[in-house]
Structure 1
Amino acid sequence: MLADYLEGNIRFLPSVDSWEDGIQKAAAPLLQSGSITPKYIDDMIENVNENGPYIVIVPGIAMPHAKNEDSVVKTSVSYLKLEEPVQFPKNKEVRTFFVLAAEDSSGHLDLISDLSSILIEDEIKDKLEASQSEQEVLDVLKMVE
């Protein structure tokens, strides 16, 4: 399921200027495809400002998301991998972003659950971190789906 959502929404960048910039760049494919509105990006950033870096779900990986307040047009996921980590509040370093955008809360929980179950496996997490192309990321996810 995740691989289907991610197809065409995977990016690799050397670095970003800030964690906020990281969220914006990670969400850009979803904005470009019309799956989300700019408000959704603002809401994800505001979530971290209000609640801290709870979106850093395992070391090095953040899962930005927000409540859909008419800002998610279509359930979707994007992926951004950075060569240089970016610093989140509380000194949490992140190299990988999975942006989750769900039309409803049950879809949101399904995506978070699917992704979390993949990322708790060190072998899968390591393979994702070693991926250098969209196809490699998709292949890793398809292995476990």
Structure 2
Amino acid sequence: MATDINGFLPDSAFQLDVAAQDWKDAIRLAGQGLVNAGFTTDAYTDEMIETVEKMGPYIVIAPGLALAHSRPSDAVLETGLSWVRLSTPVKFGNEANDPVSLVIGLAGRDENEHVSVMSAIAGSLSDAEKTRKLAAAKSPEEIRAILNS
């Protein structure tokens, strides 16, 4: 993989096996991970929710997986990711890929960084074996090791 995920996904960006009431709550959790890691301000979380309200649940990119993001903005301090594994899946309104149990928050300072981090993560998540391992991983270290393998 061209982009090493480690710098973009620190321990503070993870929330494993947490509950969300609905899709907005799930995005708020992903947004909180981005804020905790110093990648964004709270305003970016609102922007991610507004994006889904305007554009629909296109962020649900594979069965069980949502890539929460918005356009680069002043609310993005640094390019990075957050990782939220839900204890109970929630519906985003995407018939083909609901319900969602993994929400990855993506913040890009500019289009190039946004796209390079997105490609790095998409490569791993398109591999069914890796996806299975990620669902069972117990720690941030284990998840990063799987993503980087």
- The alignment's TM-score, normalised by the length of structure 1, stands at 0.92
1:55–1:132 CA distance, 2 compared to 1 (3 A): same
Q: Report if the CA contact (8 A) 2:58-2:94 is conserved.
A: no
For 1:13 and 1:129, locate their aligned partners in 2 and report how far apart those are by CA, in whole Å.
Answer: 10
Conserved 8 A contact 1:7-1:138: no
Moved over 6 A (4+): none
Name 2:120's counterpart in structure 1. 114
SS in 2 for 1:39: helix
CA contact (8 A) 1:61 1:96 kept: yes
Name the one with the larger helix percent.
1
More off after superposition, 27-36 vs 109-118? 27-36
1:55 equivalent to 2:59? Answer yes
- Helix, strand or coil for the counterpart of 1:53? coil
TM-score, normalised with respect to structure 2? 0.89
Total equivalences in the alignment? 143
Gap runs ≥5 in structure 2: none
* RMSD of aligned Cα (Å): 1.3
Check the 8 A contact 1:62/1:96 in 2, yes or no: yes
Same amino acid, percent of matched pairs: 32
- Structure 1 residue identity aligned to 2:53: N
In 2, Cα distance between the equivalents of 1:69 and 1:60? 27
Aligned equivalent of 1:83: 87
CA contact (8 A) 1:37 1:72 kept: yes
Q: How do 1:1-145 residues align onto structure 2 when only pairs under 5 Å count?
A: 1-8=4-11, 9-91=13-95, 92-143=98-149
CA distance in structure 1 between the aligned counterparts of 2:94 and 2:147, rounded to whole angstroms: 30
1:17 shift after superposition: 0.9
